[in-house]
Homo-oligomer: A and B are copies of this chain.
Amino acid sequence: MAKTLRETGKDAVATATARLRHAGLRPTRQRVELASLLFKSCDRHVTAESLHDEVADAGVKVSLATVYNTLHQFTEAGLLRQVIVDASRSYFDTNTGDHQHFFLESEGMLIDIPGETIAVAGVPAPPPGLLVDRVDVVVRVRRG
């Protein structure tokens, strides 16, 4: 049986609302709903589609456009991080800290690798006029 926010996560709502306010985002019904789902457990990896399905399964109607808007706003606000590993889908990661990923392409599955685990040495200075923004490591894995 699907339950509304009010029935299930009173504190989740409070937390989400606070988080949104803190990020300078108006805590609308949709944003609170999505934030509650995203930040309930940690280290989640979602696509717009998957989150849209999830929120629908929770019995709440949020348009796909809003899911896209929200994912981007959350990302800009530093609440999410976009992970680019697949040419055809965008993933968003609730873990915004320094870390890397395993990626199982066949199933679209991402697994976090803590930031301290992997060390990247020898990154050369970028060409003149360019600054390093971030170093991403993707460990592509397959069944086998």
Using a CB–CB distance below 8 Å, which chain A residues touch chain B?
Answer: 82, 84-87, 89-90, 102, 104, 111, 113, 117-124, 126-127, 129-144
Please give, as numbers and ranges, the residues of chain B lying within 8 Å of A90 by CB-CB distance. 87
Do the beta carbons of A141 and B126 come within 8 Å of each other? yes
Does A143 contact B123, Cβ atoms closer than 8 Å? no
Q: A123, B134: Cβ atoms under 8 Å?
A: no
A125 → chain B, closest Cβ, in Å?
Answer: 10
Contacts A141-B131, A142-B133; is A119 near B117 (CB within 8 Å)?
A: no
Question: For A102, what are the chain B residues with a Cβ–Cβ distance below 8 Å?
Answer: 126-127, 130
Q: Looking at the complex, which one of B119, B130, B140 makes contact with A135 (CB distance below 8 Å)?
A: B140
Given A121-B119, A122-B117, A130-B102, CB of A138 within 8 Å of CB of B141: no
A129: chain B residues at CB < 8 Å are 143-144
